[in-house]
Amino acid sequence: MTSSVRASFQLRRRATVPVTNSVRRVYDLIRSSVQGDGALRLVEDELMTALAASRAAVRAALQRLASEGAVDRSPRVGTIAAAVTALPLAAVTTLSTAGASGLELRRLEARAMAAPPVMRERLELDIGAPMALVELVVLRDDEPLGLLTSYVGLPSHSAATDVIGADPIALLRSCLEVRAGGVASAIGARPADIETAGLLAVAPGSALLWCDEVVRAADGRARAVCHWSLRGDRVVLTSSDTPA
């Protein structure tokens, strides 16, 4: 939460404001205001005033956030916002700035393989052409935030052998840096299956952000297809559109 939002919660506590009982809107307002490093204590009276909401609406919204893991509620401690990590809406950017963002990329799998038909079509590869499969888990302070599975077209079988024998994270970064043709993204949501839930330390059925990205080189050809699966209680995706 920003200092201005925190100040709003605290300084407007005694103000006389209209009351709304919309749990949906109160939930959205709180969720959008606690995107930070966590440890922020949320006080019902302060939220009621700052959000122009009834106690029942605030309490219901906090209970919903707690059920999603976005806040922790304890009778002795109160309600504490969990840490939320903001990631740019592009796997390429996250890979290149992981260290500066305090993120760790840990290898799950990396291997060369013949591209199956669906990936051969998406990557515009010839029959029998090789590709690299690189799967990483993204962590912050040893807490898993998401999975990144990437399929990267390779120029030759010898190149496939060379790159898989090297650092797969460095391989993925070097492959995806050729992105002059842009990145196309599609975003959705899905529940966590049992395998993914185990890797991300969440309950099966937990909400995940899912993103499909196609990275293109300067000649317009697809260079890689990347799939994100991100924890909905720990990650938000950000994008900025600056006018030319």
φ, ψ dihedrals at 89, nearest 5°: -80, 60
Q: In CATH terms, are 3-81 and 85-238 the same topology? A: no
Tens of pLDDT, residues 119-171? 888 888 888 888 888 888 999 889 999 998 888 887 765 555 555 555 666 76
The pLDDT value given to residue 11: 46
d(CA 95, CA 126): 28
> Tell me: the pLDDT tens digits for 106-119?
888 888 888 888 88
Work out the angle between the directed axes of helices 157-165 and 168-176 (0-180°, nearest 10): 130
State pLDDT tens for residues 40-49. 889 999 998 8
CATH entry 3.90.1170.10 includes domain 3-81: no
Phi-psi region of 141 (alpha: psi -120 to 50; beta: other; left: phi over 0): left
Residue ranges of the domains in the chain? 3-81, 85-238
CATH number of the domain at 85-238, out of 3.40.50.2300, 1.20.140.10, 3.40.1410.10, 3.40.109.10?
A: 3.40.1410.10
Number of other residues whose CB lies within 10 A of the CB of residue 97: 12
Q: What is the mean pLDDT of residues 207-213?
A: 90
How many CA atoms lie less than 13 Å away from 8 in the CB half-sphere?
A: 13
The span from the CA of 74 to the CA of 145, in Å, is: 24
Is residue 194 within 8 Å of residue 187, measured between CB atoms?
Answer: no
Q: Between residues 175 and 240, which one has the greater pLDDT?
A: 240
Q: Render pLDDT for 1-19 as a digit per residue (tens, 0 to 9).
A: 555 555 555 545 444 555 6
Q: What is the pLDDT of residue 132?
A: 84
